[in-house]
Chains A and B, each alone.
Chain A
Amino acid sequence: MIRFSIDSSSSVPVFQQVIQAIKLEILSGRLQNGDQLPPIRELAKILKLNPNTVAKAYYTLEEEGFIESKRGSGNWVNTKNMKLDSFRRGMLEDEFRLFLDRALMLGAGLEDIKNLMERYAANE
């Protein structure tokens, strides 16, 4: 059900990676409103993470309103009050900025990127 792994050498902190991954699962629809998230202990075991890290990620997700924590029974996806589209756009922007950073580092100009995007759009 959870289909992601952690990149230990990434500059993105591990708990952020967990958050990103779960958000991605939700946005992609693999996790639906009302689905139960894996218990902290199980996810920590699967990902070989400190359970505190997973807990921190869940806590942040709850703060942001993606999930709902029910005492004793676990964590549940809660997207009822969420505007998923705007979050999707926000995430896209984040990912795009990351991509731009790397592209610029490779020495590409904005023109190159524009051309590349047009070519991909035409193919697909």
Chain B
Amino acid sequence: MNENVLEVRNLKVRFGKKVALGDIDVQFRKGESVVIAGSNGAGKSTLLRCLAGVIHPDKGQILYAKDVPREKIAFISDGLSLFENMTLKQGLDFHLRTFHIHDPDESFFQQLKFSLNQKIKSLSVGERTLYHLSLLLSQKPAVLLIDEIIHAVDPYLREKFLEAVIEAIDKYGTTMITINHTFSEIQNIPERVLMMEGGRFILDEKSESLKAKIKKVVTDVELPAEIPFVFKKESVVGKEYFVYPFQDDFRRKYPYDFQSLELGEIIKALIGGEYAKKRMS
């Protein structure tokens, strides 16, 4: 369980003068599900593209485990990039051929019941996303890299997709790295949260420990300075404080109701906090 499937060392990527990734080090374990969270432009997509080999880093190394050939790395970008002039059939055949997949797992593909003779570009965004995901799952991927795209898929198919991913994780020990995927039905999948800002990681926590460390307090008054918080929302109802890091002492000392949160809300609060910080500076 503890062997690394992927190790990233000193990764640096620049877009001209702008630093997209500044010296990143991170490891991913086999079978692990990770969500990378962060505001727009934090470098999440760039990191994912580096992992997929689409961006060649200016410095640093991306080391996949020996038993993970490039054929087993599946990537879907937020651009939903495919050869869209192909028909669905051609696209599937091409994908299976170029990724050297001799025994594809087409179970998810079959569930989608596409008509195979239409062109990829004629698909709606949601359909296209699912089509692309089905290609990736047919690969029996060792590493599944999914950019911020699932939002375009309707809830029913989203659930179907989720089931297919769960199956892949269990069957093939797939390591899944996604970006900002915090829908309620998905939020119990990631075991680890990576938070990015300005091309660096600012947080790397297990989901469970993150849940334990962040609590919400709704109150009319200011929180005492001793209680740290990452984000504050104000509305007519009152002030919402997202306390982080939370300590068990707080419950004994203060009369507030420290509420536990879903992962999705936690990530929302963390990202909101980063935006608030940016506005301050």
Contacts and interface: CB of A to CB of B under 8 A. Distances in A.
A117 B55 CA distance: 66
Contacts of A40: 170
Interface residues of B, number: 29
Interface stretch (B5-13, B37-45, B78-86, B257-265): B257-265
Contacts of A105: 257
A50 B262 contact: no
Interface string A97-116: 00000000100000000000
Given A13-B208, A48-B186, A8 B262 contact: yes
A60 to B, nearest CB: 14
Interface stretch (B20-28, B123-131, B187-195, B223-231): B187-195
Contacts of A52: 31-33, 169, 191
Contacts of A48: 159, 162, 166, 185-186, 188-189
Contacts, number: 60
Interface of A: 6, 8-11, 13-15, 40-41, 44-45, 47-53, 105
Contacts of A14: 188, 208
Contact of A50 (B190, B257, B260, B261): B190
A51 B166 contact: yes
Given A50-B191, A52-B191, A41 B170 contact: yes
